[in-house]
Structure 1
Amino acid sequence: MKSAVETLNPTRVRLTVEVPFEELKASLDAAYKKINQQVTVAGFRKGKVPARVIDQRFGRGAVLEEAVNDALPKFYTDAVNEGELNVLGQPEVDITELKDGELLAFTAEVDIRPEIVIPDYSGIEVTVDAVEVSEEDIDAAIEQLRDRFATTSVVERAAAEGDTLTLDLEAKVDGEVLEDGVAQGVSYTVGSGQLLDGIDEAVTGLEAGATATFTSQLKGGSAEGKDAEVKVDVSEVKSRELPALDDEFAQLASEFDTLEELRADSRKRLEQSKKYEQATQAQEKVLEALLELAEVPIPEKLLQDEIETRKHNLVNHQLGQMGLDLKKYLEIQDKTEEEFDAETKEQAEKGIKTQFILDELVNKEKLQVGQEELTEHLMRRAQSSGMSPDQFAQAVVEGGQVPMLVGEVARGKALAVVVEAAKVTDSNGEVVDLEDEEDETAETVEAVAPVDGADAEGAEAVEADAEKPAADEAPKDKKAEEKTEG
């Protein structure tokens, strides 16, 4: 077999392959055997029809097509390996010559990973928010905890903001009660801004047994978007009472004996949270700076595939779980479809660039992923997906996505190398010492560069990726396939 590589552009090549006919012998034998099992010829036992009879009865062309389809993947893979190419996606194959007994020649155009020159990243400097916890931050955290331990009791007075009401609702449009416009025993907190526009004003000041009517635009259901006349009946008013802020509350809500100890712990937790946010911010800014320094050409087909994958995962997984379609989502986000498409393209480009340059760094720095690192990353991914580690691991293995997780960890380590070399200061001018970078950078990379299918989380994303063909899956000639199927 002879092969040659022609570079069409930085991300695409054309392979020209010539195969001596004798190298098709194994595939020809397999083709005769396969056809033998499928046909019945009078005078011959099934599977024992001679090759010359098959040629006469069914045509030598059918045998050649079967043999070529069987042989193409191997010859294509051999040519890729000979050319030392890092291919992406499926090639476009065209058989240029097929002479029975003499020669098979074909071309294959395929996208490749571009050659990337890693820029000097030692001079990257970024500024991040300082870790500052104010007394107001601690007060807010304590209030949230206090709110969780609030109690309610029925009161005989007019409803006020913060009260919890039990309501019956009835919505009419054009004087007709909607089939899905009746709800009973609804629990609602006055001032929460949930349910319907105008309901807070309608129920404030009402006592149990009182009724009010108001007009509101429906946010969902059969009459979504229409103005409805809504009748609300208040059957119960409950007052929420917060526990006193004292040592007794600290003992009730935590393992601490005093309120002072609880506040100290809240400060510590808030500082840890802000340090994590600071580290994430540093990683994102360093990555942005790295991408600006690097020249990374993007294969057009890979970009289009990534855009479609992101749209599919959003519509079929994320929005589907929330009962939304793309149109409703865009209304909520106050975006046009053109704006959404532009943002998706920008995100896809960034994701591909991130993966390409970090993969190149992994190779340059010869970074390896240990079993312990992979296990820790799998545990984090399982936790974020809402699955148990065993369930997530099973889904990953069955979907053939272990290399995907290894790639995420390796890219995280590559980004950690860049972050370590960068100068990171906070808004106060203090140098930031980032610890445990690799754990966090793996998550940062995962969020930005889900080219291998990490953009979707949980079992659905893993299973969806498992259905996609591998990027280096060997091809079959389309024309030969069509003739064989016909």
Structure 2
Amino acid sequence: MKSAVETLNPTRVRLTVEVPFEELKDSLDAAYKKINQQVTVKGFRKGKIPARVIDQRFGRGAVLEEAVNDALPKLYTEAVNEAELNPLGQPEVDITELKDGETLAFTAEVDIRPEIQIPDYSGIEVTVDAVEVTDEDVEKSVEQLRERFASTNPVERAAAEGDVVTIDLEAKVDGEVLPDGVAEGVSYTIGSGELLDGIDEAVTGLEAGGEATFTSQLKGGSAEGKDAEVTVKVTAVAARELPELDDDFAQMASEFDTLDELKADSRKRLENMKQYDQATQAQERVLDELLKLAEVPIPEKLLEDEVKTRKHNLEHHQLGQMGLDLAKYLEIQGKTEEEFDAETKEQAVKGIKTQFILDELVNKEKLNVNQEELTEHLMRRAQSSGMSPDQFAQAVVEGGQVPMLVGEVARGKALAVVVEAAKVVDTNGEVVDLEDEEDEAEATEAAAETAEAATEGEAAEEKNEA
């Protein structure tokens, strides 16, 4: 077999392949065998029809077509390996010559990973938010805990903001009660904004047994988006009572003996959260600076597939779960379809660039993923998917997705290398030492999460390379 490579652009090549006919022997034999199993010729047992009879009855062309279809994938793979190419997606194959008994020639155009020069990233400097926990932050955290331990007691008075009311609802559209427009015994906290627009004003001032009617646009159900006449009847009013903020509360709501100890723990937890957010911010901004430094050609077909994948995932998964379509989503976001398409393309470009650069860094730095790192990453992915680690691991293995997970961890390690070399300062001008804030395993996993977020939806290449 002879093959030659022509570079069409930095991300696409054309392979020209010529194959002596004798190299098609195995595929020809397989073609005759397959046709033998599919056809019947009077006078011959099934599977025992001679090749010359098949040629006469069904045509040599049918045999050659079957043989070429069988041989092409193997011949293409052999040519790719010989040329040491990294193809992306499926090739566009064109048979240019097929002479029976002499030669087969074809061309194959395919996108390839571009050659990338990793820039000097040692000079990257980014600014991140300072870690500052105020007394107000602590008080808010303790107040949220206090809210969780609130009790309710029935009262004989008009309902007011903050009260918990038990209500019956009936919704009508065009004078007809909706099939799904009746609900009884609904518990609602006035001012929470968890039900219909206008309900707070309607129930405020009502005592048990009182009712009111108001108009509201329905947020879901059979008449979603339509204006409905809603009748609400209050059947009970209860006042929420918060526990006193004292040592007794600290003992009831936590493992601490005093309120001061509880507040000190809240402060520490808030500091840890802000430090994690700061580290994530550093990783995101270092990655953005790295992308600015590197020249990365983007394969057009890969970008097109990636944009389609992102739009499909948004429309059929994320929005579908929220009961929205794309038009409604764009209306809520205040965006035109053109603006949305431009943003999606920009995100897709960033995702592809991120994967290419970090994968190249993995190779350059000879970064490997050990079993412990892979297991930790798998545990996190399982948690975010809502599956148990065993279920998630089984799904990953059965779906052949282990290499994908290994790639995610490796890219995280590559990003961690760049972050470690960068200078990170906070908004107070203080140098941030991220190593003081998280151990190496946590840093790698956090970086993997950041890199994964940047490449999210970047499924086209993964699927095509599988």
TM-score range, shorter chain: over 0.9
Structure 1's unaligned 5+ residue stretches are: 454-464, 474-486
Alpha-carbon distance between aligned partners in 1 of 2:457 and 2:100, rounded to the nearest angstrom:
43
Contact kept, 8 Å, 1:131 with 1:275, in 2: the verdict is yes
One-letter code aligned to 1:441: A
| 2:244 maps to 1:244 | yes
| 2:422 maps to 1:450 | no
One-letter code aligned to 1:434: L
The equivalent residue for 2:446 is 440
Contact kept, 8 Å, 1:10 with 1:297, in 2: the verdict is yes
The equivalent residue for 1:131 is 131
Alpha-carbon distance between aligned partners in 2 of 1:75 and 1:327, rounded to the nearest angstrom:
47
Contact kept, 8 Å, 1:404 with 1:452, in 2: the verdict is no
TM-score scaled by length of structure 2: 0.96
Alpha-carbon distance between aligned partners in 1 of 2:230 and 2:138, rounded to the nearest angstrom:
41
| SS at structure 2 position matched to 1:471 | helix
| SS at structure 2 position matched to 1:70 | helix
Q: Higher mean Cα deviation, 172-181 or 87-96?
A: 172-181
Following superposition of structure 1 onto structure 2, how do residues 17-36 of structure 1 map, counting pairs within 5 Å? 17-36=17-36
Q: Higher mean Cα deviation, 333-342 or 237-246?
A: 333-342
469 and 405 in structure 1: CA distance in 2 versus 1, 3 angstrom threshold? closer
Q: How much does 1:470 deviate? A: 4.2
Deviation per residue, 1:44-69 (Å, 9 max, x gap): 11111111111111111011011001
The equivalent residue for 1:269 is 269
Alpha-carbon distance between aligned partners in 2 of 1:114 and 1:411, rounded to the nearest angstrom:
17
Q: Higher mean Cα deviation, 218-227 or 187-196?
A: 218-227
Contact kept, 8 Å, 2:97 with 2:103, in 1: the verdict is yes
Contact kept, 8 Å, 1:374 with 1:405, in 2: the verdict is yes
The equivalent residue for 1:339 is 339
Alpha-carbon distance between aligned partners in 2 of 1:123 and 1:221, rounded to the nearest angstrom:
56
Deviation per residue, 1:422-443 (Å, 9 max, x gap): 0000111111111332121000
Alpha-carbon distance between aligned partners in 2 of 1:45 and 1:230, rounded to the nearest angstrom:
78
- Percent identical across equivalent pairs? 83
| SS at structure 1 position matched to 2:71 | helix
Contact kept, 8 Å, 2:158 with 2:205, in 1: the verdict is yes
The equivalent residue for 2:44 is 44
Q: How much does 1:221 deviate? A: 2.9
Q: How much does 1:343 deviate? A: 1.4
Q: Higher mean Cα deviation, 167-176 or 191-200?
A: 167-176
One-letter code aligned to 1:147: E
The equivalent residue for 1:457 is none
TM-score scaled by length of structure 1: 0.92
The equivalent residue for 1:362 is 362
One-letter code aligned to 1:404: M
The equivalent residue for 2:57 is 57
The equivalent residue for 1:372 is 372
Number of aligned residue pairs: 460
Deviation per residue, 1:177-211 (Å, 9 max, x gap): 23332222111110112211111111111110001
Alpha-carbon distance between aligned partners in 1 of 2:457 and 2:176, rounded to the nearest angstrom:
51
Contact kept, 8 Å, 1:352 with 1:451, in 2: the verdict is no
Following superposition of structure 1 onto structure 2, how do residues 79-478 of structure 1 map, counting pairs within 5 Å? 79-435=79-435, 436=439, 437-450=443-456, 453=459, 470-472=463-465
One-letter code aligned to 1:471: N
Deviation per residue, 1:350-395 (Å, 9 max, x gap): 1000000000100111110111110010011111111110011111
Deviation per residue, 1:28-83 (Å, 9 max, x gap): 01111111111111111111111111111111101101100100011100110111
Using CA pairs below 8 Å that are at least 6 residues apart, which structure has the higher relative contact order? 1
Structure 2's unaligned 5+ residue stretches are: none
Q: How much does 1:174 deviate? A: 3.0
Alpha-carbon distance between aligned partners in 2 of 1:94 and 1:331, rounded to the nearest angstrom:
45
32 and 469 in structure 1: CA distance in 2 versus 1, 3 angstrom threshold? farther
Contact kept, 8 Å, 2:313 with 2:457, in 1: the verdict is no
Alpha-carbon distance between aligned partners in 1 of 2:44 and 2:279, rounded to the nearest angstrom:
75
Contact kept, 8 Å, 1:130 with 1:278, in 2: the verdict is yes
Q: How much does 1:238 deviate? A: 1.0
Q: How much does 1:172 deviate? A: 2.3
| SS at structure 2 position matched to 1:56 | helix
Alpha-carbon distance between aligned partners in 2 of 1:92 and 1:247, rounded to the nearest angstrom:
73
Q: How much does 1:153 deviate? A: 1.3
Contact kept, 8 Å, 1:167 with 1:233, in 2: the verdict is yes
Alpha-carbon distance between aligned partners in 2 of 1:71 and 1:277, rounded to the nearest angstrom:
54
C-alpha RMSD of matched pairs (Å):
1.4
Contact kept, 8 Å, 1:250 with 1:259, in 2: the verdict is yes
One-letter code aligned to 1:379: M
Alpha-carbon distance between aligned partners in 2 of 1:268 and 1:452, rounded to the nearest angstrom:
37
| SS at structure 2 position matched to 1:161 | coil
The equivalent residue for 1:476 is none
| SS at structure 1 position matched to 2:369 | coil
Alpha-carbon distance between aligned partners in 2 of 1:140 and 1:368, rounded to the nearest angstrom:
44
